[in-house]
Homo-oligomer: A and B are copies of this chain.
Amino acid sequence: MTLHVENPGRSAVAAVIGLGSMGFGMAQALKRAGLAVVGYDVAPAAVARFIAEGGRGASTLGEAVRDADIVVSVVVNAVQTEAVLFGPEGIASVMKPGAVFISSATMDPAIARDLAQRVEALGFHYLDAPISGGAAKAAKGELTIMASGSARAFAAARPALDAMAAKVYELGDAAGTGAAFKMINQLLAGVHIAAACEAISFAAKQDLNLEKVYEVITASAGNSWMFENRIPHVLAGDYTPLSAIEIFVKDLGIVQDMARAERYPVPLVAAALQMYLAASGAGMGRDDDSSLARLYAQLSGAQLPGTIKA
Contact = CB atoms under 8 A, between A and B. Distances in A.
20 contacts: A171-B212, A181-B208, A181-B212, A184-B203, A184-B217, A185-B220, A187-B198, A188-B195, A191-B191, A191-B198, A198-B267, A221-B226, A221-B229, A222-B226, A224-B226, A264-B296, A265-B299, A267-B271, A267-B275, A271-B271
A275 B144 CA distance: 32
A60 interface: no
A190 to B, nearest CB: 9
Given A177-B208, A219-B144, A220-B132, A227 B188 contact: yes
Interface string A196-223: 1011011101101100110111011111
A266 B198 contact: yes
A204 to B, nearest CB: 10
Give the bracket for the number of chain A residues in contact with chain B: 35 or more
A268 B272 CA distance: 7
A262 interface: yes
A188 B217 contact: yes
A177 B207 CA distance: 10
A198 B269 contact: yes
Interface of A: 109, 132-133, 144, 146, 167, 169, 171-172, 177, 180-181, 184-189, 191-192, 194-196, 198-199, 201-203, 205-206, 208-209, 212-213, 215-217, 219-227, 229, 255, 259, 262-272, 274-275, 296, 299-302
Given A221-B225, A222-B225, A262-B205, A268 B188 contact: no
Contacts of A187: 195, 198-199, 202, 222
Given A187-B195, A270-B271, 9 more contacts: A132-B221, A146-B216, A172-B209, A180-B208, A184-B202, A185-B217, A221-B226, A223-B224, A265-B299
A165 to B, nearest CB: 12
Contact of A198 (B169, B227, B229, B268): B268
B268 A268 contact: yes
Contacts of A172: 209
A222 B189 contact: yes
